[in-house]
A and B are shown apart, each in its own frame.
Chain A
Amino acid sequence: DGGITQSPKYLFRKEGQNVTLSCEQNLNHDAMYWYRQDPGQGLRLIYYSQIVNDFQKGDIAEGYSVSREKKESFPLTVTSAQKNPTAFYLCASSPGLGTEAFFGQGTRLTVV
């Protein structure tokens, strides 16, 4: 079945540590995105990528980094510079930039 897979589902991090969230898609989509969702807020864009080896900052990129070395994969690293990393992180892909998006099941990150 085609889809988009995020792992892990739950992640706990100690303050000062970097963590990497995985996102893989087998939909052959060119565009991929990372969003952050906090209670009572809409989805906020962290980074997006239109093609392999290219990515752009979104509205809240500070403290995050990404790579797009393969079409299928778009990992997100939450660095120690991110002041408030506890949140629900969503990865998505779409056939073209800004078209209807298909989302993964999310990773809930908690800083302990």
Chain B
Amino acid sequence: EDQVTQSPEALRLQEGESSSLNCSYTVSGLRGLFWYRQDPGKGPEFLFTLYSAGEEKEKERLKATLTKKESFLHITAPKPEDSATYLCAVQAAGGSYIPTFGRGTSLIVHP
């Protein structure tokens, strides 16, 4: 069974304090890994897709990286507006191709 585990469950940072969120996965073969941002009471917003180990994608203060077993979402010098829940979803190479979501990491950035 495909599994996606995100850690930590919750993270509190001071503004400007860089950190990383983790998404570890066990699938029979990776087709793609997705990162989303979700604000309270709203639908998730797509951030990145990663396809192969060693790949990196950047957007403003966010950088996503991928290895064969996990992905990291690095947040550099975060601002309070980066506060949100960050979701990871993993798409296996076989089966229905529907990604499996992790439970998310709730990030709060204090001014």
Contacts and interface: CB of A to CB of B under 8 A. Distances in A.
Interface residues of B, number: 24
A98 B97 contact: yes
A8 interface: no
Contact of B87 (A43, A58, A108): A43
Nearest to A4: B43
Given A42-B4, A56-B96, A100 B43 contact: no
B104 A42 contact: yes
Quick one: which of A41, A99, A100 has the most chain B CB within 10 A? A100
A99 B31 CA distance: 10
B103 A92 contact: no
A43 B104 CA distance: 9
A19 to B, nearest CB: 19
A51 interface: no
B43 A103 contact: yes
Interface of A: 6, 33, 35, 40-45, 48, 56, 58, 90, 92, 97-106, 108
